[in-house]
Structure 1
Amino acid sequence: MLFCKNNKLQIILNILNIFFNSVNSIVILLFTYFNKELNSSLLICLLLFSILFLLLSNKSIKKNIKIIKSSNRIR
C-alpha cells in the first residue's frame, strides 16, 4: 500500500521475504528431523504456501511493470 509507485522496492522486499521464509522452513525441517517429538507439519505447510503466494505476487508485480512500460511507449 505504501509502495504502490515503487515497484522495484516491492520486488526487492518480496525476494527478501521469500529468502527468509525459505531459511525459516529449512530450520524448522532440521529441528523436526533431529527432534522426533516436534510435529510441525502445519507450520511447514503454511510457510510453503506463503512462499508460493510471494512468488505469485512477484510474477504479478513484474507483469504490472511490463504493462506500465508498454502504456508509456504508447503515449
Structure 2
Amino acid sequence: MMAMFPNCFTPLFEMIVNKHFCYAVVFILLTGAAPLSYAAGCLKGAAVGAAVGHLKNHAVLGAVGGCIVGHHMAAKDKKNQAKG
C-alpha cells in the first residue's frame, strides 16, 4: 500500500539539500543582517571572495574572507578620504 503513495517530500528535500540553494540562503541571511555602512565593502568583497573560492570548492569560506577584507579596505578608504 505504501508503494501507491510516493513520498511527495523527496523533491523538496533534494532542493533543500542542494548546496547551491544552501549557499543562496546563507548569502541572503548574511547580507540582510549587515548594516548598510558595513555592507558596502562586505558585499563587494564577498562577491569576489565567493567567485575565487568557488574555483577551489570553498565558495562560502571565500565569501566570508572576502567580506572581512572588503570591509577593511572600505574602512581604510573612508579614513583616507577623511584625512584629505
Shorter-chain-normalised TM-score: which range? 0.3 to 0.5
- Identify which of structures 1 and 2 has the higher relative contact order when contacts are C-alpha pairs closer than 8 Å and 6+ apart: 1
Normalising to structure 1: TM-score of the pair? Answer: 0.38
